Amino acid sequence: MTSSVGMSAVLGACARPRDAAVREPKQDGGSGEGGEVTPGEDLMREHGILRRIMFLYDEAIRRLDGREEVPINVLLSAAGVVRRVIEDYHEKLEEDFLFPRFERAGKLTDLVAVLRRQHQAGRIVTGDVLTLARGPLGEQAGRLKLADRLRAFNRMYRPHAAREDTVLFPALRALVGGKAYAELGEQFEDKEHRVLGEGGFEKAVAEVAELEAALGIADLASFTPT
């Protein structure tokens, strides 16, 4: 694993309940004004975690292709965040609270069908990543196979998340109305506490930051073109 001392220091600093000020019951019917975290914002910032994982995967792919060392524990931890936070939590929210509403209303049904299928495909790819990363990677063939699965994950999830951000989530509030939208925010919060525990989002962000540091891609400024 990555340095457990470093990890607990980071987690200790960040392991606080989600900012109570932004999670107070909605005062305005959930219009999004007044600083609350709306369901759309909640889902989109989980996509932010997914994007940071895909950036980690990009770096792992580069190293695997180039026969450079890849800290397998970092890759396993990254895939573990995908499984725990994205597949078992974020996608469950979409499957339980969003997709059925669109399906019942007969809205965006083709898109929802593809998104559902891609969740299933993503789980299979993550299973492959975990299996391959735990296996012997001395042979370049195994490394290239692993790189291929990581590439397949990123290839699917970049447009998947972008489509949800720009089409599905913006349509949600209009579909359910302000009151139900506000109630969804409360249901998401309850679910987050039950599935991920207190401060689940913040802990996941801290873990991803630690993994970025371990792969040497934590310095955002270093990616600014000169």
Rounded Cα distance, 116 and 99, in Å:
8
Nearer to Fe ion, 91 or 128 (CB): 91
* Residue 86 C-beta: closest distance to Fe ion, Å: 8
CB 87 within 8 A of CB 125: no
∠ CA(83), CA(116), CA(131), 5° rounding? 35
We find the least distance from the C-beta atom of residue 200 to Fe ion, in angstroms, to be: 16
Within 13 A of 218's CA, how many CA atoms are on the CB side? 12
| Closest CB to Fe ion among residues 111, 180 | 111
Cβ at position 29, least distance to Fe ion in Å: 25
Q: Which is nearer to Fe ion, 65 or 87 (CB)?
A: 87
Would you say 43 or 70 has its CB closer to Fe ion? 43
The CB-of-90 to Fe ion minimum distance in angstroms stands at 6
Q: Which is nearer to Fe ion, 94 or 207 (CB)?
A: 94
Tell me the torsion sign for CA atoms 214, 218, 223, 226. negative
Whether 63 contacts 56, CB under 8 Å: no
Which of 89, 102, 90 is CA-nearest to residue 171? 102
Residues found near Fe ion in the complex (CB under 5 A)? 94, 115, 164
CA–CA gap between residue 188 and residue 182 (Å, rounded): 10
* CB 6, min distance to Fe ion, A: 29
